[in-house]
Amino acid sequence: MAPGSRKIRSALVSVYSKDGLEPIIRRLHTLGVALYSTGGTQSYIEKLGIPVTAVESLTGYPSILDGRVKTLHPAVFGGLLARREKAHLDQLAEYNIPEMDCVIVDLYPFEDTVAVSNDPAEIIEKIDIGGVSLIRAAAKNWTDVVVVASKEEYPLFFDLLETQDGDTTPDDRRELARRAFKVTSNYDIAIFNWFNEGTTDIAFKHSIHRSDILRYGENPHQAGVFFGDFEKIFDKLSGKAISYNNLVDIDAAVQLMREFQVGKPAFAILKHTNACGVARRDVLVDAWKAALACDSTSAFGGIFVTNTRVDLETAQEINKLFYEVLIAPDFDQDALDLLRKKEQRILLKVKSYAVQPRSFRSLLNGVVEQDADLKTETEADLKPVTKRQPTPGEVDALLFAVKCVKHLKSNGIALVKDNQLIGMGCGQPSRVDALRQAIAKAQAFGFDLNGAVMASDAFFPFPDCVEIASEAGITAVIQPGGSVKDQDSISACDERGMAMVTTGVRHFRH
């Protein structure tokens, strides 16, 4: 045996999930390990025809209080926490407590219960006490005890049993202990956040169990990691490994298409998180062509997203252009076969357009957290403030435009006509500069601005934007309002026969 190796001779098994447990139990039995268990796990082992000792025979007490107390006893925890040195071993012998060399636990599914239940009594009963205590005790004593803290560790533990015949090295035990505290810390944070919801105790506690190492961060010299369950939102159908920048753009694409997920086929093209093409049409291929026409230059190497199943005709058009990622709710098989031929292109089947209700980012020596901007304006949110009311067609265009401008970096301006983003200005220190950029883009790609509408992510402090927009042919404007000089812009609209509506909602994006 290697220095510090320990042979597993006894194991306490108390798990919620039995999936994948049987091979471990059978292997432990083959290795001559004495098994201890209680409740449903004990019954499971007995049904496998494998000898198991009830924990009650150690403690002298049955499971009580509807199963709330089963293993919480010195006869159990003494065997886990005893250092394998003479003073501790003598005490175990004095009180007839067996050494416990291994603990296998899978906790009650607290987070899963919270996700599907609003019943406090049901949720409370899924707060595991004995299991967490067993894990922490075994992990604390990792120099002598092996801890398997969740079903996710079953494969690793089974491999150790197979390859090392029940022996474990200090490195093995320490790694399992590390994983154990990862499990318990995540569990405690989930419980705290449930109890803390709706209170005035503001605390930043987030725990994301899953992580994937990225090729690199925002730039090749930066390391990057994604913490989250990507597969919960997407099926990755093809393509290279997803990068940090891909993830940032994919997030922006999903947030934008969430605004357009219902209704006629829609397509959006994003570059560096900004929408540079958005269009809605009766047929998907036409939506694609209209979105591409918005800014065919910026579309190169972009992120494409749609609300509609991709057919072969659309795939053939998309395939003419280089892109990083294509996101859709589904793909016809012939379309998928075609798109997969370019092996580096990332194809994602989106399962849900759900967006986290809270967002956070690191700043200075801390973190800022806020509610996500989930407001989607409807006609009921529009307050006409000019003499001329917007026409029904203008109302539709204004609602389309405000959805687009919401997803542009501030200062942002979106110009829309016929269910198509025809000009966009973003990331400018001046709103006037953003408008001029939007007009220049529209004109550069051959769009007629006469009859177009304009959306601004924030209010107009001066009438200059209205004046510039009118000269370009824009007839209606949507903006939050709220400036002390709102009336100046309203009057400028009235003088030019333009319609303006306010929403009372600003959409800054930094």
Which residues form the catalytic set? 140, 272
What count of Cα atoms within 13 Å lies in the side-chain half-sphere of residue 441?
24
- For residue 461, give the nearest of 506, 398, 401 by alpha carbon: 506
Question: What does 384-447 look like in DSSP terms, one character per residue?
Answer: E-SSSPPPHHHHHHHHHHHHHHTTSPSS-EEEESSSBEEEEE-S-SSHHHHHHHHHHHHHHTT-
Residue type, 483: S
Task: Please report where in the chains the tokens 């005709």 appear, as a residue.
Answer: 313
E strand segments, 203-251: 211-213, 225-227, 234-238
d(CA 484, CA 85) in angstroms, rounded, equals: 77
The Cβ of residue 444 has, within 10 Å, a number of other Cβ atoms equal to: 11
- For residue 239, give the nearest of 351, 344, 380, 360 by alpha carbon: 344
User: Taking a C-beta distance cutoff of 8 angstroms, is the pair 443, 294 a contact?
Assistant: no
- For residue 474, give the nearest of 434, 435, 426 by alpha carbon: 435
User: Taking a C-beta distance cutoff of 8 angstroms, is the pair 292, 214 a contact?
Assistant: no
Q: What are phi and psi of 276, to 5 degrees?
A: -110, 0
Which residues, including other chains, have CB under 8 Å from residue 296's CB and lie 6 or more apart?
A: 445
Which residues, including other chains, have CB under 8 Å from residue 414's CB and lie 6 or more apart?
A: 401, 402, 404, 405, 408, 421, 423, 424, 438, 454, 455
Residue type, 346: I
- CB burial class (10 A; 0-12, 13-18, 19+) of residue 248? middle
- For residue 493, give the nearest of 506, 508, 509, 477 by alpha carbon: 477
Q: What are phi and psi of 503, to 5 degrees?
A: -120, -20
What count of Cα atoms within 13 Å lies in the side-chain half-sphere of residue 101?
15
Is 171 strand, coil or helix? helix
Q: What is the DSSP letter of 74?
A: H
- For residue 249, give the nearest of 321, 317, 305 by alpha carbon: 305
Give me 256's structure tokens: 């934008």
d(CA 104, CA 20) in angstroms, rounded, equals: 12
d(CA 325, CA 268) in angstroms, rounded, equals: 12
Q: What is the DSSP letter of 241?
A: P
User: Taking a C-beta distance cutoff of 8 angstroms, is the pair 427, 452 a contact?
Assistant: no
